[in-house]
Amino acid sequence: MYTVELVRLIEKMSLENCTPEIDINSIKLSQPDVNRPALQLAGFFDHFDSERVQVIGHVEHAYMQQMDQEQRLQILSKLMDYHVPCIIFCRNLEVSESFIKLAVEKGVPILKSSKTTSSFMAEVIRWLNVELAPRITIHGGLVDVYGEGILIMGESGIGKSEAALELIKRGHRLVTDDVVEIKKVSDDTLIGTSPDITRHFIELRGIGIIDVKTLFGVESVKNTQAIDLVIKLEEFNKDKQYDRFGLDEQYIEFLGNKVVCHSIPIRPGRNLAIICESAAVNHRQKKMGYNAAQELYNRVTNNLRKGDMH
């Protein structure tokens, strides 16, 4: 189970802290969803997920305003007794002094945002989904090639870093070399990023560590990238059958998500960068509905039919 500090949410969303007396450094969020506590304000607490960020919008605020003060403080006290991580007021709605005093007593931070409730909630959920996503760390390199995230995998010393460096020289962007942290942000999307400590560094055997951002400029690097395609580099084996047409896609699975995977045999003289570029463009074409292997297959079968007719 992953967590994210409340302090980071406050920084990310530029929230105003109405309860600076409360120590918020130890508060962590573990749920990517948020809750508008309308039913709870009406007194219904069954199935209440108290670990979620609580968001007060115009409707909840208006509902509280029509209560008398004693009733309002009583229900808010009950809400805070569930140890919610924080309560956020959107649209810069006014927060009463009595509410802030109660929140300080209960140790629940009260925050404010100027954004509209729906857009604020959408932004928070999207950000928390990424921050709290399931993740794994694998050995490989990730490069953005023509907008496609190419994950280069293979045995140690096979030439992953050299291929990445050649791609950078050709104008593509490095996300990470050697170690890739993969997050599953949805059932369709895997996001790759670099550990902070090795970000934008490449290790080249015989030369050592090079700083890509310093050598090639800021346009040659990127912090995160969706993983669209995996290229597995392997030693050429003359006894192994390699796919020469590409009619059937091969897949590799990370965190339950399937990604198209090509196994590329390595021999001296093969230009890995051009192979990676071609694979990226070909993959993009397939996503746009054109499959070169299928086109060739159709041409051959049409030719055979014509030959049979004659």
Active site residue 36: no
* 155 assigned binding-site residue: yes
Active site residue 126: no
Active site residue 178: yes
Catalytic residue among 58, 78, 139, 258: 139
Catalytic residue among 36, 72, 115, 160: 160
* 158 assigned binding-site residue: yes
Catalytic residue among 178, 213, 284, 286: 178
Catalytic residue among 47, 238, 244, 305: 244
Task: Answer whether 210's CB lies under 8 Å from 178's CB.
Answer: no
* 277 assigned binding-site residue: no
Pairing of strands 251-254, 257-266: antiparallel
* 169 assigned binding-site residue: no
* 161 assigned binding-site residue: yes
* 159 assigned binding-site residue: yes
Task: Answer whether 36's CB lies under 8 Å from 56's CB.
Answer: yes
CA distance 182 to 192: 5
* Residues sharing a CB contact under 8 Å with residue 93, sequence separation 6 or more, in sequence order: 56, 57, 58, 61, 112
Total number of residues shown for the chain: 310
Task: Answer whether 53's CB lies under 8 Å from 15's CB.
Answer: no
Q: Which long-range contacts (CB under 8 A, 24 or more apart) does 180-183 make?
A: 180/137, 180/138, 180/139, 180/140, 180/141, 180/142, 180/151, 181/135, 181/136, 181/137, 182/135, 182/136, 182/137, 182/138, 182/227, 182/254, 182/255, 183/130, 183/133, 183/134, 183/135
At residue 110's C-alpha, the angle toward residues 107 and 115, to 5°, is: 160
* 14 assigned binding-site residue: no
DSSP secondary structure of 196-223: GGGTTEEEETTTEEEEHHHHH-GGGB-S
Active site residue 222: no
* 118 assigned binding-site residue: no
Provide the annotated active-site residues: 139, 160, 178, 244
Annotated binding site for ATP: 154-161
Annotated binding site for Mg(2+): 161, 203
Annotated binding site: 154-161, 203
